[in-house]
Chain A
Amino acid sequence: MSSDVLTCDYCGYTFSDSRTVCPHCAQPQLFPNVSKATSEKEKDKLNSAFETKRQQCVDDDRGDEFSQFYNAVASSHALFACSLQKLHREVASGTEVFETYYQIAELRVQVTAPAQLDWDKLRPQAEIELLGTHQNIDKLHYACLSLDWGSLTGYGDCVVKLKENMIRHRASCFQGNSAVIYFLESTFDDCLRSCWDDRGKIAAAVFANRLTPGVPDTKFSSLLVAPGKESVDDEFIEVHVFGPMTLRTFAAVNFTANDAGKRKAIYRDAIIEKLDAAGVTHNGTG
C-alpha cells in the first residue's frame, strides 16, 4: 500500500491521495480510487504495458486487431449483476424509506456460505491495498466492463448498465478481480489500473494475448468478459465506482430470468415501477 501526495487546486496545500476532500479547505469532492489510478506511477505502468503489448501484436501481425479491440473497449460501458432482492434495495434507496434499511443492513450479521475464498475477509483487505487506507472501506461498488449485455453470471439475474455521465468522474478500472489477485499475490504492485477514460488501454494491455489474427469484432465482447466455472475463475476488467448509487445512476436494467415465484414477481414489479418512474429502460413488463 502506498500513499502519494496531492496538491489542492483551491488552497494549494498538499495532502494524502487517500482523502476524499482536501483536509485544509474541504474542497473538492475527490475519489481515492481515481487519484490512485491517475498517479504518474500508475499511468507510466499502464502506458508501458500498453505499448509493450501493442508492439508484440504488431510484431505478430495482430496490430489491427489490437487497435480495433482498444477502440471498441474505449467506448464500453460498466455493468453489474445482482439478485432481485439486492437490486430492489438499490433502486428503493432513493426513496428514503429504504435509507433506514441501509442503516440496518450495516448492522446485520453477514455470514455467507463457505466459498472457495472468504470474500468477507478478502474484500476489505483488497480495498485497503487499493485505496491506501482503511478509511474508505465499503465505499466502492464493483462492476465490469462490457461491450453489450454480457456480464458475469454468478452474481444474480438482474444486469444493470450504469450511466456513463454518473460514473465517469469516480470510476477506475482494474485488471481483474482485485480480491482474487490480492489473495494470490498479496500486493497490487504488478497490476494495472486506469481511470475510466483509459479503460480501452487497460483492457487492450490485459487481453492482448487473447487476440488472434483475424478475430472478428463480434468476438470482442466474449474476450472482454469471460465467466469462469466458479466466480474466482472469471476474467474481466473490474470497474470500481466510488460512492453511493441509486436508480438515477442506472442507464438500463436487463432481467435475465423469468421468475415464477409470487414473491419474486412482487420484487420485480416494485423494481419496474421505480425504474419507470425514473425513466430507466428495462426489458421487464410492468
Chain B
Amino acid sequence: MGQGDLMSQKSFALVSPRDQCIAVADLTSVTTDSDQPMVRLGDRNVALGDYLARYPGAEFVTLDENHDLSSLLIDATDRSCTLDFCLMLLDPDLSSSVKQRAALELNQLLLSERNRNYALDVLLAFPLPRHCNFESAKTTGNTVGPAYELICLLEKTRQRAEFAFAAWLSIRKHPIVVQIGENRTRAVFIFSGFCRRVVVDLTTKSLVRKYSGALILDTQQQLNARVAQAFLKEYESKLPEGDSTPSSMGEVYAAPSLDPRYSEASNSSPIHANNVIGNADAEQERAVREVEEIAALFVAGKDNRARTFRNELIARQSSHVNHSYLVKSLCNIASKCNTGGRPEIAAECLTIAMKYERGVDSRVFIQVSNLFKDLRKYEEAAECLNKALSLANTLQEKDEINRNRARLLVSSGKYEDARAAFLKLSDIETNPQSRTSLATLLRKMGEVSLARSIFSDVWYEYESSNSYAGLAECHRHTGRLEKAIKKYEWLLSERGLDERSSKVFRVALSSLYRAIGNLDTSMLLLEQLHGEYPFDASVQLQMAKVLRLRGQTERADELYRNCIANLRETEQIASKLYETACMTKDDANGPVSEARVIFPEQQTLFDCNVTLRNIVVGDLSALRKGSLSTISPFKLHEDFRTVLRYHYQILLGQDVNPKGDIRLNRIRKRGLEDMRKATIALDERDFEAALHFEKRTCLTVA
C-alpha cells in the first residue's frame, strides 16, 4: 500500500545516505511487476522492497520543488566531505594551513546533525590509529566550533571505540551474523547509529546493563536483537565498573506512559541527540548540569532564581550558530518540570523554545511536539509537526512525522482520523512501529481480531516486545486474562526490556492479577513498583484500585486524588471517572463534561457511561437524546456492548434483532465467570451488580 502510493509521486530518487553516489530514477524508471514497484538500476530491475530491505540505510526521497536532485547530491557529498575533513584534521602528515581550512569547512558541515552523526558513525566504528594527532587537530581547528567538539569527543571515546571493535570481532561468527552476512550486519551496526550510541553513552558496566534494552529496542527495526545483545555483552565485559550515569540518560528512556506502544518512541526524546553528540565535551556537560539545576529550582518553586539562570542559559546558547542545543536544553528543562509537577513551567519553556529555529531540524521539532503532547497541548504539538514536515527531506522523516501526527490524533480521541493517518504512511506495511501503533489503535477501536492479526505478524517478523504485549492486550480485551498474564510474565522474564517497558508491562500485569481476583500478587507487584517509582501515576492508580477492593478506602482515595490532581490522562483514570459518571447526572459543569474536555481520547467511553447511567436510573428521555454512537463505545467488551445495545433498544421500545437473543444466550453460556454474571445481572435489570461484575472484567481491561 505504502509503496503503491509512491507510484503516484512525480519523481523520486533512491539515495544511499552513506555515500555520495545516488541512484536516480524518475517515473519512467519505475515499473510494476506483479503489483510490486521495481526500480531500475543499470540494466537490472530491483524490487523496491528488496532494495530497501537489503540496504537499510538507503533513503527513498521524493523530488519536488524543495528537494531537487542537485540538493540531494550536495547532501550526500557533504557527508563524504565531513568524513574526509575529519580525517584530514587527524592526519599527522598534513600542514596546519590545510588543517585550518579543513576545520573551517568542517565547522560549517557539522552544523548539520546528519553530517555529524555520519562522521561519528564511521569514526567510532573502528579504532583510530595510535599516531592520530589529536592535539594538532584541536589547536589548528577553531577551538570553539563543532569541529573542535567532534575531535574532543573522538579523543574521549577512543578507548571505548576499541572495546566496541573488539566486541564486534568477538561476535562476527555468531550464527545469526553468518546467516545475515558479516558485512551487512557490520554496516547495520554502524549506520543505524548503534555503535555510536554505545560508544558515546554506555561508559560503564552499569550503564550497559541499564540501557541496553532500550538501545536494542530503538534499533531493532534494523538490527537483530540477539546479535545486539551478544555485542553488548562482549562490550560490557571490557568496561570498568561504575555508575557514572550521564545526567541526561535517564530521561531518554523514562518519559511516563502506560501504553506500551509509546515506549517505542523513546528515541524521540529531546535529550537523545544531545546525548549522542554533546556528552563528551566539557561545555556540554556543564550545560547538562545547568539544565538539571534550573529544573530542580523550578520544581522546588524557586521560580525567580530559576528564570534568571534559564535566561543566562538562553543568552549563551542562542549566540551559537545552531539553535539545536538551546532548544534541546529547554526541552530537557520542560521534561523535568513536567515530571516534577510543574506542567505550566514546562509549557512556558517549550513556548520559548519554539522561538529559536535556526539550525533546528525536523527531529527536534518532533521531540518538542511529543513534549507538547505530554502536556495535552495538542494544537501546539500539531504546529510543531507541521514545522517538522516542512523541514523533512526524506520519506523516512516524513513517515516519522506522520506517525507522530497519527499518534497525536489518537491522544486527541480522533480514532477514525488517526486510523486514516496511519494507513497513509508509506511504511505501514514494513515498519514494525507503525504497524504496532496501528494495531494498538484498532484494539482500542474494538477491532480486536484485526489488531491481533497485525500484532502476530509483527511479532513473528520482528520479535518486538511491544507487539507481544499488544497480543496480551488483545487477550485481555477478549477476556482471556490468564493468557494475557502468561504473555506478560514471559516478556518480563525472558526478554531484555528497557526500564520503561518493564514498568509498563509490570503495571499491566498487576492490573490483570487484580482482574482475576488475585489481589495479593497484584499488590506485591505494585509495592515493588511503588518502591522504584514512588511518584508514578499509573502505579498509584493501580494501587488505589487494589486498596479499594481490599477495603482500604482511605488510602485508596488519597492515591486517587494524587493521580487525578497531578497526572496526565490514562485509561485507568478515565475508568475512575466512569465510576463517578455512573452515579452523576451529566450536565455542563459536571465531572463527565469536564472529563470530556480533559480526556478527549475517552469521549466514547464517557458517552457510554452516560448511557449506562441513564439505563441505571431509567431516564428514558435522556436515553433517547443520546446518539447512536453512545451504544457502540469502542472500549467496551464486545459481549457487554451487545447486551448493552439490547437493553438500550428494549428500554426505548425499539425493534430488537431476533438473532440478538441467540447471541445473548451464547454469551450467557461462555466466558469468564464475572462476565457471565455481569451479563445475567444486566438481563435481570440488576444494573448495580452488572456494573460491579462488568467492571472487574471489562473496564479494568479497557
Contact = CB atoms under 8 A, between A and B. Distances in A.
A185 interface: no
A88 B21 contact: no
A165 interface: no
Interface string A81-106: 00001001100100111111101101
Interface stretch (A137-145, A186-194, A269-277): A269-277
A108 B118 CA distance: 12
Contacts of A270: 88, 91, 94, 98, 102
A269 B98 CA distance: 7
B81 interface: yes
B545 to A, nearest CB: 52
Contacts of A274: 93-94
A107 B98 contact: no
Contact of A107 (B20, B81, B190): B190
A257 interface: no
25 contacts: A95-B92, A97-B87, A97-B92, A97-B128, A98-B87, A100-B127, A106-B183, A107-B186, A109-B55, A109-B58, A110-B16, A110-B19, A112-B42, A114-B29, A114-B42, A117-B42, A117-B43, A118-B42, A120-B42, A263-B105, A265-B101, A266-B102, A273-B94, A274-B93, A274-B94
Contact of A266 (B21, B58, B98, B126): B98
Among the interface residues B81, B93, B187, which one has the most CB atoms of the partner chain A within 10 A? B93
B83 A107 contact: no
Contacts of B183: 106-107
Among the interface residues A92, A96, A104, which one has the most CB atoms of the partner chain B within 10 A? A104
A111 B19 contact: yes
B57 A109 contact: yes
B81 A263 contact: yes
B24 A113 contact: yes
A262 interface: yes
Given A111-B22, A113-B24, A277-B93, A100 B129 contact: yes
B130 to A, nearest CB: 9
A115 interface: yes
A-B pairs with lowest CB-CB distance, top 5: A118-B42, A109-B16, A111-B23, A111-B16, A96-B129
Nearest to B129: A96
A80 B125 CA distance: 32
A267 interface: yes
B19 A95 contact: no
Among the interface residues B42, B122, B127, B128, which one has the most CB atoms of the partner chain A within 10 A? B42
Contacts of B125: 104
Contacts of A103: 126
B673 interface: no
A277 B81 CA distance: 23
Among the interface residues A108, A109, A270, which one has the most CB atoms of the partner chain B within 10 A? A109
Interface in A215-234: none
B95 interface: yes
Interface residues on A, range: 35 or more
A158 to B, nearest CB: 15
Contact of B98 (A104, A121, A273): A273
Interface residues on B, range: 35 or more
Given A85-B84, A262-B105, A96 B131 contact: yes
Contacts of B41: 111, 114, 118
A119 interface: yes
Contacts of B24: 113-114
B355 interface: no
Contacts of B123: 100
Interface of A: 85, 88-89, 92, 95-101, 103-104, 106-115, 117-121, 262-263, 265-267, 269-270, 273-274, 277
Contacts of A97: 87, 90-92, 128-129, 132
A115 B83 CA distance: 27
A34 B80 CA distance: 35
Contacts of B97: 269
Contacts of A262: 101, 105
B19 A108 contact: yes
Nearest to A183: B43
B40 interface: yes
A96 B132 CA distance: 9
A96 B80 CA distance: 18
A88 B55 contact: no
B44 interface: yes
A113 B85 CA distance: 25
B349 interface: no
Contacts of B637: none
A120 B22 CA distance: 13
Contacts of A121: 42-44
A119 B90 CA distance: 34
Interface in B11-40: 14, 16, 18-25, 29, 40
A125 to B, nearest CB: 12
Given A114-B29, A269-B98, A92 B91 contact: yes
Given A104-B122, A121-B43, 5 more contacts: A97-B91, A108-B16, A109-B19, A111-B22, A118-B44
Contacts of A266: 85, 88, 98, 101-102, 105
Contacts of B98: 266, 269-270, 273
A108 B190 CA distance: 10
A39 B355 CA distance: 74
A118 B101 contact: no
A171 B125 CA distance: 35
A256 B558 CA distance: 82
A109 to B, nearest CB: 4
A104 B126 contact: yes
A192 B23 CA distance: 34
B566 to A, nearest CB: 49
Contacts of B187: 107-109
A111 B21 contact: yes
Contacts of A265: 101
A283 to B, nearest CB: 19
A269 B84 CA distance: 13
Contact of A95 (B44, B93, B102): B93
A263 B128 CA distance: 24
Nearest to B122: A104
Nearest to B29: A114
Contacts of B18: 108-109
Contacts of A118: 41-44
Contacts of A88: 84
Nearest to A101: B87
Contacts of A100: 87, 123, 126-129
A121 B57 CA distance: 20
Contacts of B19: 108-111
A121 to B, nearest CB: 6
A274 B87 CA distance: 14
Interface in B30-87: 40-44, 55, 57-58, 80-81, 83-85, 87
Nearest to B133: A97
Nearest to B128: A100
A107 B19 CA distance: 10
B100 to A, nearest CB: 10
Contacts of A92: 87, 91
Nearest to A104: B122
B146 to A, nearest CB: 17
A248 to B, nearest CB: 13
A107 B123 CA distance: 13
Interface in B145-200: 183, 186-187, 190
Contacts of A106: 183
A279 to B, nearest CB: 14
A142 B131 CA distance: 32
Given A108-B18, A263-B81, A114 B25 contact: yes
Contacts of A101: 83-84, 87, 122
B57 to A, nearest CB: 6
Contacts of A267: 84
Contacts of B126: 100, 103-104
Contact of A111 (B55, B88, B91, B93): B55
